[in-house]
Amino acid sequence: MSIFKAYDVRGIYPDELDESVARLIGNAMASFIGKSPIVVGQDVRLSSPSISQAAIEGILDAGIDVVDIGVCTTPMNYFAVGYLKAAGGMMTTASHNPARYNGFKLCRENAIALSYERGISHLENVVQKGEYKKGKAKGRRSSANVLEDYRAHILRVAGEVLPFKMVMDTGNGVAGLFIEKIFGSLPCKIYPLYFEPDGRFPNHEANPLKLENLRDLQREVKRVGADLGVALDGDGDRCAFVDEKAQIITSDIMTALMAKETLKKHPGAKILYDLRSSLVVPEEIIASGGVPIRSRVGHAYAKEVMREQDIAFGGELSGHYYFRENFYADSGFLALAAVLSILSERKKPVSELVAPLQRYFATGELNFEVKDKDAKIAELAKIFSDAKIDYLDGITISYSDWWCNVRKSNTEPVLRLNLEAKTREKMEETKSRVISILTSSL
């Protein structure tokens, strides 16, 4: 598969992405943006210093200036682009992927994300041709430290916070470097798990979507009697939450909770959710007087819709949470600040706040290797032709008592299934039926 994905660049280092490719990508990014400066940051992967340096060289050779903010989270990179009024941003990271990967998350001015259709395909074309442009004069390199401004930005959302006990697992990713610096002034007791940056990710993958990566967090929440457990991914743009009983709360339920609170502050606002989310999300948005906006999967696409429709808040099942006051971009730290604000205002345990929202039964995301994905989607449409069907992202099949979405992965050669029903029995029944279709020969 190409390293140029639907909403980022990502590949195995050094087999698919090395310093020479990074230099070409940086140069192509400079020609695409065409203005100065471009903010460049990096995570803590072992290959990130050399990959980031190569990308910077490519930008400078094109005659475009660079503001190097060094080691940072991806949301800090987005913030720096918007706050410094830069022309674009380039974050060296492979997000939650295993240690052997690296890549780039890319944006234009005001942290407008590049998607494949809007920028990344151009980079792919230039890199494949081996084109390398040199400016009349080399660009200038400077550095900036946005930490204090970013800290103030985050804590404005948190407001007056009560003295909670929190366990936080950053999976040896970059977020661990900044937890105390940003949240240390709050009256909370933070119990750290794997804060030490280590690009090998020796304890577990820095991917909070995989349940096995939350086990240590759950154990520690029980051990210390914490009010909340939080896990962040390798570059700090996604987070997952665990309640005081050490039960995992799915990100769509957290989206519904945060949406309700957002609508208290912004009555009638639009709230975005991705199409894999529980029916609870649009139901709660409507019940709270808001306007639900359904989006296809992927941070670049979600941000585009957020900006186009001036949406106040959005959430994805993957643990991305988007905020209008954050240049419509995602931030794991801002999501945590928002949750701390909710807990402080409501003065109830997390489990009690989410209990009314956990009223349906979902399979979670299941993956299937399928040779002819388009043919399989067409087969599903034929079998369930009496359902309400749409193709916003893959195929969504909806009945009165259950629904499912089957879509092609943007990052892996698989079909992904999400299914939800109003009863557990219906969920199990329809899950078995849909899986049998996905695994049968065409």
CB of 373 closer than 8 Å to CB of 194: no
| Alpha carbon distance 87, 85 (integer Å) | 7
Cross-strand partners of 192: 168
Q: Give the CA angle between residues 221, 97, 175 to the nearest 5°.
A: 50
Tokens 């310093």, located at residue: 19
Residues β-bridged to residue 323: 313, 329
Cβ proximity of 146 and 38 under 8 Å: no
Token reading at 430: 């329809």
3-state helix, strand, coil in the chain (%, to 5): 40, 25, 40
State residue 412's pLDDT score.
Answer: 72
Single out the residue of 302, 263, 313, 305 nearest to residue 285, CA to CA. 263
H-assigned helices in 198-239: 215-224
Burial of residue 150, with CB atoms counted within 10 A of its CB: 0-12 exposed, 13-18 middle, 19 or more buried? buried
The DSSP line for 138-155 is PPPEEE---HHHHHHHHH
* Three-class secondary structure assignment of 363-429: CCCEEECCCCHHHHHHHHHHHCCCCEEECCCCEEEECCCEEEEEEECCCCCCEEEEEEECCHHHHHH
Tell me how far apart the alpha carbons of residues 85 and 83 are, in angstroms, rounded to a whole number: 5
Backbone angles phi, psi at 257, to 5 degrees: -65, -50
Model pLDDT, residue 441: 81
* Domains of the chain as residue ranges with CATH: 9-145 (3.40.120.10), 148-245 (3.40.120.10), 251-357 (3.40.120.10), 361-439 (3.30.310.50)
| Active-site amino acid positions | 95
* CA quadruple 86, 87, 91, 92: dihedral sign: negative
Low-confidence ranges of the chain (pLDDT < 50): none
Please answer whether residues 59 and 29 qualify as being in contact, where contact means their C-beta atoms are separated by less than 8 angstroms: yes
pTM value? 0.95
Q: What does the angle CA 39 – CA 135 – CA 49 come to, to the nearest 5 degrees?
A: 40
Phi-psi group of 236: left, alpha or beta (phi > 0 → left; psi -120 to 50 → alpha; rest → beta): left
Instruction: Check residue 267 and give its pLDDT.
Output: 98
Can you read off the two tokens belonging to residue 333? Answer: 């730290």
β pairing state of 313-315 and 321-323: antiparallel
Cis amide prior to 14 (ω within 30 degrees): yes
